[in-house]
């Protein structure tokens, strides 16, 4: 592993200033489970690593009228084990429990999970300098692509690997972003960027901006949520396809419904057609399957990943049906 300097800020503003002063060669370290892998592989060579764990007060799960507030440095394991999270948002508990492995959930943080880099095997190999790393091509488009995107791709075929992001998006979570200019709050739905917007990064964070907090609006009566992750092996795997669904139900019909899928696109992918087709309807399997199919019509599979479209239809349907 190439060496770097380790900065230990005590405040977010110090951390932000370190980022700003790093001219793109400073990197934030939360749980470390992602960044250290990148440094070891040599695909990222920061001059300065800014340790966020030396800033106190960023790990919390707290309820107030605005919603459930989750500190960015809250360990994924804490989310998975928290009783309030489980009661208010069963889907979020499920998503947190499905992340990686017990050790990685203990080490990894909510913020790190939302800001993690993609797992594309070309991106993760130092020797293949793809567009995301400043190169001129996407090796996956005509290469080995069974795990790659079927929606929203083009220049780059990564899938966004987070389990928490689709679920929090379906729950309409908002993010508080910190920078020297102050804090701003944006919907998680506006956080991620397609390769067509920014090929080298997956989100809209400014250079000196730091994710500070996630706020999930409290559920009203009849609110339900679920996260269904389909992976190849029994544990410790990223989603081939995952579906997060959240809505407000009366009996088997949903007055509001949000469906966001993972494993399909470079960003968590909202299934708007399905949401619209199902809203206000009494759910049955046939209806949901048709809505899912309609939602996936835009899919453009590559040579080896057409099966993902089939899987997505099934997983979406099962996630939604588990609510109704």
Partner 1 sequence: MRDLDTGDSLTYKEQGQPLPGAKPAASVQAPAGTFKYIGGYLPRVDGERVVTGAAEYTQDLQLEGMLFAKILRSPHACAEIVALDLSPALALDGVKAAVRLKEGRLNYLGEPVAAVAAQDEATAEEALDLIKVEYKELPFVVSEDASQAEGAPQVLPDGPNVQKLNELTRGDVDKGFREADLLLERTYRTSWEVHQPAETHASLALWEGDSLTVWDSTQAVHSVRDGLARALKMPAAKVRVIKKYMGGGFGSKLGLNDHTLAAALLAHQARRPVKVVLSRKENSYCVGFRPSNRITIKAGVKKDGTLTAVHFKNLTCGGLGRGDDCADPLVDLYRCPNLKVEEYSVFAHTCSNRPTRAPGHTQGTFALEGFLEELAAELGMDPLELRLRNYTTKNQGDTGTPYSTKGLEQCYRLGSEKIGWQRRNKKPGQAAGRTKRGLGMASQIWPGAGVPGTLADLYVYPDGSVEVQCGTQDIGCGTRTFMAAIAAETLGLEPKDIIIKIGDSDYPWAPSSGGSLTAPSVGPAVRDAALKAVEQLKQLAAKKLNIPAGQITAAEKKFSNSQNPAQALSFAEAAHELRRETVFHGERALWAPGFDYQTFGAQFAEVEVDTETGRIRVLRVVAAHDIGRVLNRQTAESQVLGGVLQGLSAALFEQKTMDTSLGRMVNANLHDYKVATIEDCPEIIPLFADVVDERLNNLGNKGLGEPPRIPSSAVIANAVFNAIGVHVGEIPMTPDKVLQALKRREGRS
Partner 2 sequence: MENSSIKKKRKKTVTRRAFIKGMGGGAIGATLAAGLLGRDGLTPGGQNVEPAVFEAKPITLTVNGKTVRLEVEPRETLLHVLRERLRLPGTKRTCDRGECGACTVLLDGKPVYSCMTLAARADRRQVRTIEGLAAGGNLHPLQQAFIDKDAYQCGFCTPGFIMAGAALLEANPSPSGDQIKAALSGNICRCGNYQKIHEAVAAASERMRSGLK
Q: Total number of residues binding partner 1 (CB under 8 A)? A: 30
Tokens of 8: 């230990």
DSSP one-letter string for 60-115: -EEEETTEEEEETT-BHHHHHH-HHHHHH-HHHHHHHHTSS-HHHHHH-BHHHHHH
Site string for partner 2, 208-247 (x = CB under 8 A): x-------------------------xxx-----------
- Smaller CB separation from partner 1, 220 or 234: 234
Is 273 near partner 1 (CB under 8 A)? Answer: no
- Cα 258 off chain centre by: 15
CB of 295 to partner 2, least distance (A): 32
Residue with tokens 């399997």: 285
Q: What are phi and psi of 114, to 5 degrees?
A: -75, -25
User: How crowded is the C-beta side of 129, counted as CA atoms within 13 Å?
Assistant: 5
- Residue 32 interaction partner, one of partner 1, partner 2, none, beta carbon < 5-8 Å per kind: partner 2
Give CA separation, 228 vs 84, 260, 295, in Å.
20, 11, 17
- Residue 315 interaction partner, one of partner 2, partner 1, none, beta carbon < 5-8 Å per kind: partner 1
Cα end-to-end span (Å), the chain = 50
Q: Which residue, among 210, 177, 196, has the nearest Cα to 267 in the 3D structure?
A: 196
Site string for partner 2, 79-118 (x = CB under 8 A): ---------------------xxxxx-xx-----------
- Residue 61 interaction partner, one of partner 1, partner 2, none, beta carbon < 5-8 Å per kind: none
Give, as ranges, the residues between 231 and 270 that touch partner 1 (CB under 8 A). 232-237, 240
Query: Within 141-181, where are the H helices?
Result: 164-170
Tokens of 51: 């340790």
Is 83 near partner 1 (CB under 8 A)? Answer: no
- Residue 53 interaction partner, one of partner 2, partner 1, none, beta carbon < 5-8 Å per kind: partner 2
Binding site for partner 1 (CB under 8 A): 1, 3, 119, 121-122, 124-125, 127-128, 139, 142-144, 146, 230, 232-237, 240, 304-307, 310-311, 314-315
Binding site for partner 2 (CB under 8 A): 1-18, 20-21, 29, 32-33, 36-37, 39-40, 42, 48-49, 51, 53, 55-58, 100-104, 106-107, 126-127, 178-183, 208, 234-236
């Amino acid at each position: 592993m190439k060496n770097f300097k380790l900065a230990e800020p005590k405040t977010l503003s110090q951390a932000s200033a370190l980022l700003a002063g790093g001219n793109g060669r400073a990197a934030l370290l939360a749980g470390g489970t992602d960044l250290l892998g990148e440094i070891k592989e040599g695909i990222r060579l920061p001059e300065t690593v800014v340790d966020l764990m030396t800033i106190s007060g960023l790990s919390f799960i707290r309820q107030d009228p605005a919603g459930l507030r989750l500190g960015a440095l809250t360990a994924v394991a804490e989310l998975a084990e928290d009783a309030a999270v489980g009661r208010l948002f069963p889907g979020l508990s499920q998503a947190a429990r499905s992340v990686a492995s017990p050790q990685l959930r203990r080490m990894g943080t909510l913020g790190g999970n939302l800001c993690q880099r993609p797992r594309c095997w070309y991106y993760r190999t130092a020797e293949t300098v793809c567009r995301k790393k400043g190169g001129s091509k996407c090796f996956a488009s005509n290469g080995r692509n069974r795990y790659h995107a079927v929606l929203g791709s083009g220049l780059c075929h990564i899938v966004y690997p987070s389990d928490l992001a689709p679920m929090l998006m379906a729950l309409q979570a908002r993010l508080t972003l910190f920078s020297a200019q102050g804090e701003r709050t944006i919907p998680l739905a506006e956080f991620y960027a397609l390769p067509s917007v920014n090929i080298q990064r997956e989100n809209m964070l400014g250079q000196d901006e730091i994710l500070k907090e996630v706020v999930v609006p409290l559920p009203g009566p009849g609110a339900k949520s679920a996260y269904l992750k389909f992976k190849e092996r029994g544990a410790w795997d990223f989603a081939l396809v995952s579906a997060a669904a959240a809505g407000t139900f009366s009996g088997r019909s949903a007055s509001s419904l949000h469906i966001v899928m993972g494993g399909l696109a470079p960003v968590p992918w909202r299934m708007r057609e399905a949401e619209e087709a199902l809203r206000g309807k009494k759910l049955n399997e046939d209806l949901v399957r048709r809505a899912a199919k309609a939602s996936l019509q835009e899919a453009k599979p590559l040579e080896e990943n057409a099966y993902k479209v089939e899987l997505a239809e099934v997983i979406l349907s099962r996630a939604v049906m588990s609510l109704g």
